[in-house]
Chains A and B, each alone.
Chain A
Amino acid sequence: DSGVTQTPKHLITATGQRVTLRCSPRSGDLSVYWYQQSLDQGLQFLIQYYNGEERAKGNILERFSAQQFPDLHSELNLSSLELGDSALYFCASSVEAGPSYEQYFGPGTRLTVT
């Protein structure tokens, strides 16, 4: 158990819909990362937050947005969903933002868009 929790574990929804994925980082971790894992694209970095502020952006679509709240939990919002958005979405956290700090991954949310 990494200490990072993600809800829900599974999500099935239809095209065009909007969903929210939630992540609670390990206690004391200030930085949160979101990744998307799919068979064709592999593991792709989406976005990073540090202590409530956006720190870095990766291959995140405009239909997707995220935020980190004062209690440090984070939410990833996916809208106008398409079949290709079906993937595993991982959240990770680290104590600080820097390459030497280990990232701890949550168990993921499996999103299926039908």
Chain B
Amino acid sequence: GDSVTQMEGPVTLSEEAFLTINCTYTATGYPSLFWYVQYPGEGLQLLLKATKADDKGSNKGFEATYRKETTSFHLEKGSVQVSDSAVYFCALPMNSGYSTLTFGKGTMLLVSP
């Protein structure tokens, strides 16, 4: 079935460092792709999404480009802040046309001052 694989964490960075969190997917067709973020003690919230190949989703300085050639949707940010410390989840719909999501295992990001 459709699935996502993301890099294991934790990823530990200093403030203002460049961030990449890798995500690759397996799917039939070209589903929408999502990044969700979970701040400590909170539920998940949508960070960004891309609905078709070569789309770039962006929000709060984060970006991810839907690459069908490499089946990837890596999350990047040019300069991280302490407030970005959270768990990041890559996700896609379970089956084409459905809205239920399958999530990667999550990558914890820890940013130190």
Contact = CB atoms under 8 A, between A and B. Distances in A.
Interface of A: 2, 4, 31, 33, 42-43, 45, 48, 56, 58, 90, 92, 94, 96-108
Contact of A103 (B41, B46, B51, B104): B46
B43 A45 contact: no
B43 A108 contact: yes
B14 interface: no
A43 B99 contact: no
Given A42-B106, A43-B89, A45-B94, A31 B43 contact: no
Nearest to B32: A99
B59 to A, nearest CB: 12
Contacts of A56: 94, 98, 100
Q: 5 nearest interchain CB pairs?
A: A105-B43, A99-B93, A43-B103, A105-B44, A42-B105
B46 A99 contact: no
Given A56-B94, A99-B99, A105-B45, 8 more contacts: A43-B103, A97-B99, A98-B99, A99-B98, A102-B49, A103-B101, A104-B45, A104-B46
B49 to A, nearest CB: 8
Contacts, number: 61
A45 B101 contact: yes
B46 A4 contact: no
B98 A45 contact: no
Nearest to B33: A99
A43 B102 CA distance: 8
A90 B99 contact: no
B32 A43 contact: no
Interface string B31-54: 110001000011111100101000
A106 B44 CA distance: 8
A104 B34 CA distance: 13
Contact of A2 (B45, B96, B97, B98): B45
A82 B43 CA distance: 24
